[in-house]
Structure 1
Amino acid sequence: MNEYAEYDWKLHQMQNERLCEVARKRLTDGDRQRALNGLRDAVDKSLNLALRDKSRCQDDNFLRRFLYARKHDVQQSFELLVSYHQYRREHPELWASADGGVLRALADGLPGVLAQRDRRGRCVLLMFASNWIPHACPLLSVFRALLLTIERTLDDVQNQANGYVIIVDWTEFTFKQSCSLQAKVLKMMIDCLQDCMPVRFKSIHFIGQPWYVETALAVIKPYLKAKTRERIMLHGNNLSTLHDALPLDILPAELGGEGPSYNSELWLQDFCRGENINPAPITTSTPAIPIENDPPSAKLDKAYKQKDNPNFSFNGSEKSAKSELLRDKD
C-alpha cells in the first residue's frame, strides 16, 4: 500500500483543484449555455435505446449534472448520460423507492451528510463503517442508500459544480464484518460510481482502517482509475492529516472536529421529506446474550450475531471469540 502512503497527495490535490477552479472561471455563462444546448440537441437526435425515454432529459438541471461531471465537454457528457441510463435499465432495483434496508443504512450513518460544506464548497459525505450490521442491512442496501443520497444531493447545482468529499471511518470495523463485503456488490459499486454517475469525488479519506481493509483495497485497486487511486488518502489513526484537508469547524466530534457528535437522524429526515416517505422508527435490535446451558457452538453462533453489542468483545478473530466463549466451559 506504499503508493497510497508515500504519495504527496496534498500538493497534487491542491494543484489539480487550482487548475479546475481556473478552468471553471474561464467558462462564461454563454459557454455553459452553448454546452447545454449542444447536449440537449445530442439527446434529441440520439437513437440509442438507452435514451428511449427522454422525458427526464427535458430538465436542464438534470442535464447540467453531466456537463459539470465532464467539465462541459458535450461529447463526454453525452457518453456519460448514455452510460447512466443504460446502467439504470440494467439495474432498475438500485433506484427503486427506499425500503427498510435503505432507511436502516441511513439511520446508521451509511452514508451521512454534513450540514456544512468544506472551504471549497464541496459536499462532505460520511460513512461510519463500524455501524454496519450485515445480517440486518445487506451491503446492497448500503449501496442503494449511498446512490439515492447522491441522487438527492445532486439536485443542488453547487454539488454538481464543486463535487464531493467522502470520509470513511473504519474505526472498530471488525474482521467478521469485512467478510460480508461481497466482491460482486463492490464491483457493482465501482462500475456505477466511477463510470456511470454524474458525480465528481474530489477526495476519499479512510481513517482508522485495519489491515484487512487495506488488503481489500489492494484487491479492488485494479478496477480503479488512476485519478481515483490518487484521490484516496489512508490516514490510519492520524487524524491530523485529515484535519489538514478539511476544516475542524465542520467535522463532528467522532472525527476530531469541533462540532457535536454526528446525528444521522437529521439527514434521514431530510432524505425522507425529499422522497415523500414517512419513515417508521428505526430501532437497533440487540440479540439475546447466550445463557449458560447453551452448547459452545450455539454460543459462537449467537456471538457472531451480536457483534454490534457494546458489551461483547469480538477482537477481530474467530479464535479469540471461541476462547472468550469457551473458557468457562463446564
Structure 2
Amino acid sequence: MLRLFALVLCLLPTTLAAAQSYPSGPVTMVIPFAAGGPTDVLGRIIAEHMSKTLGQSVIVENVGGAGGMTGGSRVAKAKPDGQTIMIGTVGTHAQNQTLYARPQYDAASDFAPVALIAEVPLVLLTKKTLPPNSLQEFITYAKANQATMNFASAGNGSAVHLGCVMLNMAIGVNTAHVPYRGSGPAMNDLIAGQVDYFCDTIAGAVPQVQAQTLKALAYFGKTRSPALPDLPTAQEQGLAGFEAYTWNAIFAPKGTPPEIVRRLNEVAVAAMDDEGVKARLGALGAQIVTPERRSPEYLAGFVKSEIEKWAVPIRQSGVRID
C-alpha cells in the first residue's frame, strides 16, 4: 500500500507538468469527412477560436471514408497526449456501432470524451428539377418513381445516410443510395442534378437554400429553425413524430490525461460562449448545447445512450453494412 502511494506521488508531478505544458505544439483536429461539408464548417469555426485560447494553432485535417470511421479510427489509435483530437457526430460515434457488422472502433470506450458542442437537425433537399415542392408531393412522387430515384449521403453509416434511410422507411419507399466521401461532394452533385435528394444538415443546407441552387422541402427538427423560418417541419407536413439530426462533439484518444481533457473542455466551452462563434453557428442552424450538457462526463453518458437509442430503428430498417 505504501509503495502504491509513493508511486502515485511520483507520477503526480509528471502528470501536472504535462498538463501545464500542454499543448506542446500545433494540435491536429481531424474532421472525418471531406472539406466543405457541415461538420468541416463547424469544426473550423471551433478550431479557430480554440487556437486563440490555447496559444497554438489547431490545424484541421480532413480524413474521410467509411462514413467517418476512417478519421475516427486514426484518432482512436493516436498518441493520447491531446495533440490529436476530432469532431465526432451521431454517425461516427453512435449509429455506426449498429449499422456496421464490424465497426473499426468502440465509440464508447476507445475515446476520451471532451465536449458536446451542438445539435443539428437535417433537411430534405432535392435537385431543382425534381417536380415536388412540398413533403407530401415528394412522398407521392417518390412512391410512384422509387425504382429510378436515388439519394446522396456523406458515406455509408454517416448521419445523413441514416437520415434518408429513416425518411424512406417512414414514407414507405426504397430508393438507391449513392455514398460520397463527405457532404461537400454529395452537395455538389445534388446541385449539378446528378442525384435526386439528400438529407443534409441544416448547417450545410442554409447557404444553398439561400442561393436557390436546390429545393428544401422539409426540416427534420421538432420546431422550425430560425435559420430557415419559412421551411415547415416534417411533422407540420403530416409526418407525425419524425425527427432526424446529427450532433457534433470533440473527442481525444483513450488514455489522454484527465488534466489535458479538462483543458480541452475549457477551451471548447470558451468557444461555445463566444458571441461571434454563437452568431456564426446560429446562422448555420446549429443549436449550441446548454451548459449542463458540456462536460466530458455528460458526453460519455450521452454517447452510450445514443448508441442504444439508434440501435432500435437501424435494426428495424434492415440496413446492415459488411
TM-score when scaled to structure 1? 0.25
For the pair shown, the structure with the greater C-alpha radius of gyration is 1
The structure that is helix-richer by fraction is: 1
